[in-house]
Amino acid sequence: MWAAAALLGLAAAAPAAQITFDSAADNAFPTLAVPVGVRAAGMGDVYTAVGDDVYALRWNPAGLARIVGFQVGLMDNEWSSQLGLREDFFAYAQSLASGGVFAASLDYFNLGQLDQRDATGALQGTVNASALGFNLGYAWRLLGRSDLKAGVSAEAIQQQLFGVAQWGYGVSPGLLWNPASSWSVGLSLNHLGLSSAGGGSPAELQAGVSSDWLANTLILAADAELPEAGTPALKAGGELAYDALRFRAGWRQPLGGTDSQTGGLSVGVGFQAGLVTLDYSYTPYGDLSTVQRIQATVALPSDFFQPRITLAEGSTFTAQVYYGQAQDLERQGETLKALIQYQRCVEAYPEAQRSAALPFYAAAGKKIEELQTQLAKGGDHTQIQKLSADAVAQADLYLRASRFKDAILRLQQAKQLDPANAAVLAKLKDAQQAMGERLSGARDAAHFAVKDSNLAMAVESYRKVLAVDPEDAEALAYLTAKRSAIKTLLQGIDRKAIFFYVGGQLEDAIKAWSDGAALDYFGDVDFKRNIDKARVQLQLRNQN
C-alpha cells in the first residue's frame, strides 16, 4: 500500500509543488495505493485482521462487524506539502438492529499540479489533478457465528488527470475469523473490477493475522500484500496501550522490484479522551517525502440518540406526550383512562414554567374538570372501582421494586378519581411511610459519611436518596458542590480498574468500573464502554 509515490510516478527532478504523472504507471487509480487510517499507518499498514473501526471499510470490510453503536472518522493526510499532495477522508458507520453494520466514506485526494508532456517528453504545461472516492459497506456475522464475520464494500472513484475525468467502480469482499478469543485471521480482496486503458488493475489480496496480549494492552500483527500490478510486501506492526495513550510502530518490507523507498519503519501515537480518539502517524518515504497524518474518531453508544425522559424529572415534552395520549383515549371513548393521562400531563409539566405555560397545559386542566363532572353525572362507579383496584395492584409492584414515587403518583391519581376508596388510601399511606423510612435511612447514612469525610460513602448514600426521590434538594446540592472532587475519585477508580483489566483480572475490573458507574451521577467518566469491553473479553475467554 505504501507504493503510491512510485505509482504516481513522482520525479525526483520535478519543480517544487509540482509532480510528473507517468501515464504508463502500473496502477490505473494510483491514489487507492495510499493507505487510509492513521492507526493503520502507525502500525505499518497492518490492519487486515486488526481493523475494528470505521476505517476498516477501506482495509477489510468484515472488520466493520466489530463496531457497536455509531462511529465518525475524519483524517487529514499531508502526503507531501512540497509536491502539493494532500488527502482528506470522512467516514461514518452505524450498527443496525438486524445485527449488521453499515458504513460509508468520502475520500478526496488533491494531486496538486501535473506536468503534461508530449511523446518526446517536452513540457506542454501544467494542469490541476485530483481524485474523489466513494465507498459503501456492510458487514455481518457469517452463518450467525460470533467468531466468523463477513463484509463487502462497493466503491466508485473519479480521477481528474490532464483535464480528463475517469470513473472506476469496484467491490471489496472480506472475511474475519477468530479461532480463539485473542487471535484474529483476516482476508480481503480489494478493488476488484477497477481498471482502465491507462493502467493495470489496482486489485490486491490482503491476508493478515493478529493477536492481543494482556487484554488488548499489546497487539501484535502481520500482513501479506499481493497486488495484481505492483510489488508484493510483508508487513508487521504492533500497538501498546498505556492508560489513555496508544503507542504504535510497524515495518513494511517490499519483496523485490524497485519499490525499496516505500519500505521501512513507521510510528504513531493515539490518545483517547472519552468518546473521542485522536491519532497521529509519521512515515518516512526515503527521498520521496515524509508523510504525517492526523485523525479524529468519535465513537458513540447505540442508545446515544435515544431520548432519555423520566416522569420524575418532568418536561414540557413529556407533558405534551401525555396530552396527546389523553386526546386519543377520549376520542376512543375511554373517559377514565383519558382523565388519568390528562392528570399525568399536568403533573409532568415543570413547576418553574407553569406561570408562562404552553396552551396545552391549561387545556389539560380544563379537561380534567370536564371529565370529572361527566363521570360524576353518569353515576357509574364500576369502572372507577376497577381502576382503583388496578392502581393498588400496580402500586404493590412499584413498592416491591422500591419505586416509591411511582407508587405514590399512581395512588394519588386513583384517589382523585375515587377519594373515599379505603384500599387506595391505606396503600397510599403505606407508600408514603415506606418512602419516608427509606429516605431517612439513606439521608442519615449520608450525614454520617459527610461528617466522617468519607466522600465515596456520602456519594453512594445520596445516590440512594435520589433513587427514592430524584428531586431531593439536599442530595442534588451536595453532589453539585462536590462534583470536582467526585470526578477525581472516579478517575482513581477508573485507573484501578484499568490495572485489573491489563492484568487479566476481568471480573475485578468489571466490579470496579461498575462501582464507579454507581457513583457517577453526572456521567463525568465513561465507565459503560469499558464495562462492555471487559464483559466481551470475559465472555470470549469463558467460551474457550
Is 305 domain-assigned?
no
284 and 369 co-located in one domain: no
In the chain, how many domains are there?
3
Report in angstroms the alpha-carbon separations of 122 from 117, 136, 369, 381.
5, 41, 93, 101
Mean pLDDT of 356-376: 82
Q: What is the distance in angstroms between the CA of the first residue and the CA of the last residue of the chain?
A: 35
449 and 420 co-located in one domain: no
Is 249 domain-assigned?
yes
* End residue of a domain, out of 236, 268, 300: 300
Q: What percent of the chain has pLDDT over 90?
A: 23
| pLDDT number for residue 376 | 64
Question: How would you label 324-335 residue by residue, b for 16+ Cβ within 10 Å and e otherwise?
Answer: ebbbebbeeeeb
* End residue of a domain, out of 266, 300, 334: 300
**pLDDT tens digits, 67-85:** 877 899 999 988 766 667 8
| pLDDT number for residue 5 | 45
**pLDDT tens digits, 37-57:** 999 999 999 999 999 999 999
Mean pLDDT of 182-201: 79
426 and 453 co-located in one domain: no
85 and 189 co-located in one domain: yes
* End residue of a domain, out of 272, 300, 328: 300
| pLDDT number for residue 81 | 63
Assign residue 461 the CATH number of its domain.
1.25.40
CB 498 within 8 A of CB 533: no
Assign residue 214 the CATH number of its domain.
2.40.160.60
227 and 175 co-located in one domain: yes
277 and 401 co-located in one domain: no
278 and 327 co-located in one domain: no
Cell triple for 190? 480489494
> Which is higher by pLDDT, 367 or 199?
367
101 and 152 co-located in one domain: yes
CA 102, chain centre distance (Å): 13
Its sign, for the CA torsion 313, 318, 320, 324, is negative
418 and 490 co-located in one domain: no
CB 149 within 8 A of CB 139: yes
Burial of 459 per CB tally in 10 Å (0-12, 13-18, 19+):
buried
Domain that holds residue 425: 316-435
As a whole number, the mean pLDDT across the chain is: 81
524 and 387 co-located in one domain: no
Is 498 domain-assigned?
yes
51 and 148 co-located in one domain: yes
Question: Is this structure's pTM higher than 0.75?
Answer: no
| pLDDT number for residue 314 | 56
Reported as a pLDDT band with limits 50, 70 and 90, residue 287 is low
